[in-house]
Structure formats: C-alpha cells, structure tokens
C-alpha cells in the first residue's frame, strides 16, 4: 500500500478513536443510571445492567433531583435572558459609538478572563451582608454579571458586520436608537443571538463554584446536587448520581445540537474577526 493511501486510513482511525474516547464516559454514565447498587459497585466493573430499571431515576427525582433541576432551569433561563437584554444595547453602543474608547471593549472582555475563584471571597462577603445567600436573586446577579462580557463581545463582532448605512436610513425614517436596535439590528443578528444564547445557557448551566458558595442548603443547582452524592454520610451513590447527570446533559445536548452551525460561525467569524 502506498504511503499516500495510508493518510485517509490514519485520519479515519484518529477520528474514530477520538469519538470512542468521547462517547465512552457518556455511555458509562447512562448505563450506570439503570444498574442496581451491586452492579455499579461491582469489581471489576460491569458495563451492562442485567436487569435495567428506573429505580435510580425515581430515587434521584424524589430525593432532591427534581428541585435541583427546576432551580437550574429557572436560574439559567433567567440569567441568560437578562444577559441578552443587557448585552444587545451595550454591544450596539460599543460598535456604533465606540463608547469608552478603543480599549474599553477589551477591558470588558478581560473580566471574563479572570478566574472566578478570585471573586469568590469578596462576592460571598458582600452577598452575605445584603442577605443574598440562598436566594435566586444572588445567583442570577452573579451569572448575569460574569456572562455579560462574553455576550457583549460576541454581539459586538456581529454588529460590526452590519452596514451602518442601514442605521442611518432608519434614523432618516424617524427611528430612535432603541427602535433601531430592536426593530433593525436584532432581526439582523439572528445567528449571533442564537449562538450567544446557547453558549451562555451552557456556561451557566454547568457552573459549580458560585452555586456552591452562595447557598447553604436551600437553593442548589444540578452541579451542586451531583457533588452531594459523594460523602461519608451517603457513601458512593453512583446510580442516582448517574441518573441526574443523564437528565442534566439533555438540555445542553439539545441546545448545542440545534445551534451547532451558528456556534461555529460565531466563533470563527463574528468574535475572531
């Protein structure tokens, strides 16, 4: 076999290997959710359950999983909507009026680069003083604040690609700035808005640090609930944890699958350019 003919074979082998390594952990989690305690604690590991059942899902759902899922869904959806509503006019202002100067947009983006742990103690103390611990408001404020720079930066790149002549024409027809934003710019931002919404939703849904430190026991999200299945009190509850993990993966997979083309376009066109 010629060397040139080996390259396609090697390429497909690498692709298949990557897919297997990516899918195996997901398959293990899904299968574990249907095993009984003896099977998921068995050594050596048992891949397939001998008698699949939904017992782990029922136990998880009744024992806090339902509340965690509802909390995550409400907090994530609300924070995403707020970030988009605040991000659109901010991105428009930076793009059209160069608000804050040439470097202001980069300063906003730099907030996203800082590790969240650097803000953990100050935010925890401040929220404690304002009685925002164990509240929806506290988590929504944090998630909106920390994802707003990302929203602004991505949308600013898309707005830069919209000809300013369209805004001028709308202004001649009597539209004000906010009318231009929501009647002209937003409809033209379709792919950008879809992309930012999906990515922001995924970022917030999977966030763990602030969800952990800003609640004591009342309002916990899915990532926090998943961590609670490993402790000296409850032992190793891999079955219920895998059931909750499987349920929690579904919204992110759906969001990513629906908007995968928009995500690639945004990251390679709007933001980078």
pLDDT of residue 100: 75
Decide if 215 is inside a domain: yes
pLDDT category at 234 given cuts 50, 70, 90 is low
pLDDT tens readout for residues 65-74: 899 999 999 9
pLDDT score of 272 more than 50: no
Decide if 48 is inside a domain: no
Q: What is the CATH number of the domain that holds 239?
A: 1.10.3720.10
pLDDT tens readout for residues 123-136: 999 999 999 998 99
pLDDT category at 273 given cuts 50, 70, 90 is very low
Decide if 32 is inside a domain: no
Task: Tell me the pTM.
Answer: 0.85
- Beta carbons of 180 and 170 less than 8 angstroms apart: yes
Percent of the chain with pLDDT over 70: 92
pLDDT tens readout for residues 76-99: 999 999 999 999 999 998 888 888
Write down the H helix ranges in the chain: 3-32, 37-40, 55-60, 66-97, 104-113, 117-129, 136-160, 164-172, 177-180, 186-188, 190-205, 209-213, 222-227, 238-258, 260-265
| 217: containing domain | 56-270
Alpha-carbon distance of 262 to 245, in angstroms, equals 26
The number of distinct structural domains making up the chain is 1
- Which token pair is 28? 């293990």
Decide if 131 is inside a domain: yes
Decide if 31 is inside a domain: no
């Amino acid at each position: 076999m010629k060397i040139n003919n080996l390259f396609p074979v090697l390429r497909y082998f690498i692709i298949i290997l990557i897919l297997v390594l990516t899918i195996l952990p997901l398959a293990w989690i899904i299968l574990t959710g249907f095993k009984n305690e003896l099977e998921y604690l068995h050594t050596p590991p048992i891949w397939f359950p001998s008698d699949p059942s939904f017992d782990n899902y029922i136990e998880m759902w009744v024992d806090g999983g339902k509340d965690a899922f509802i909390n995550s869904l409400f907090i994530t959806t609300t924070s995403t909507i707020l970030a988009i509503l605040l991000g659109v006019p901010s991105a428009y202002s930076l793009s059209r009026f160069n608000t804050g100067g040439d470097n202001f947009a980069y300063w906003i983006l730099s907030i996203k680069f800082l590790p969240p742990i650097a803000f953990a103690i100050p935010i925890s103390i401040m929220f404690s003083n304002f009685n925002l611990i164990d509240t929806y408001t506290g988590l929504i404020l944090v998630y909106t604040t920390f994802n707003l720079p990302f929203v602004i930066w991505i949308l600013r790149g898309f707005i830069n690609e919209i000809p300013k002549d369209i805004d001028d024409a709308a202004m001649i027809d009597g539209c004000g700035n906010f009318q231009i934003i929501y009647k002209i710019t937003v409809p033209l931002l379709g792919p950008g808005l879809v992309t930012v919404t999906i990515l922001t939703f995924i970022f917030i849904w999977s966030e763990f640090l602030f969800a952990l430190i800003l609640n004591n026991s009342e309002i916990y999200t899915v990532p926090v609930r998943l961590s609670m299945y490993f402790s000296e009190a409850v032992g190793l509850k891999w079955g219920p944890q895998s059931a909750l993990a499987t349920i929690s993966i579904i919204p992110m997979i759906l969001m990513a699958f629906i908007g995968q083309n928009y995500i690639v376009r945004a990251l390679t066109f709007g933001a980078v350019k």
